[in-house]
Amino acid sequence: EPEVTQTPSHQVTQMGQEVILRCVPISNHLYFYWYRQILGQKVEFLVSFYNNEISEKSEIFDDQFSVERPDGSNFTLKIRSTKLEDSAMYFCASTRDQGWNQPQHFGDGTRLSIL
């Protein structure tokens, strides 16, 4: 069964540094999402992306965050200047169709640790 793949599985970065988290969505999927889960807290929506544009973003997704689909397969999340509170598990998800009834397919996540 096709999977969403995320790299790296664990990223350790110094505070203030830039970090890029990478995702390869399922190949025929067109809608992409990032979520994060801070340890002990709920999984939270960050951003949705379609047709090379952000469709929706949460309050968390401030100017320090950006997303990009640099080629036909990758979908990246960049954090420009990391803070301690950015430490979390970041999940990428994708769907083929848009709709409230479409289940999102998730990757295994990237654990980001900011020192």
Partner 1 sequence: AQSVTQLDSHVSVSEGTPVLLRCNYSSSYSPSLFWYVQHPNKGLQLLLKYTSAATLVKGINGFEAEFKKSETSFHLTKPSAHMSDAAEYFCVVSDRDDYKLSFGAGTTVTVRA
Contact positions toward partner 1, by CB under 8 A?
A: 4, 6, 31, 33, 35, 41-45, 48, 55-56, 58, 91, 93, 98-109
Which C-beta is closer to partner 1: that of 81 or that of 109?
109
Rounded to 5°, the CA angle 107-111-115 comes to 160
Find the shortest distance in angstroms from Cβ 91 to partner 1. Answer: 7
Least separation in angstroms between residue 111's CB and partner 1 is 9
Identify the residue whose tokens are 């544009």: 53
Q: How far is the CB of 75 from partner 1 (least distance, A)?
A: 15
The nearer residue to partner 1, 17 or 113, going by C-beta atoms, is: 113
Q: Which is nearer to partner 1, 23 or 79 (CB)?
A: 23
Secondary structure in 3-state letters for 12-52: EECCCCCEEEEEECCCCCCEEEEEEECCCCCEEEEEEEECC
Closest Cα partner for 67 from 112, 91, 34?
34
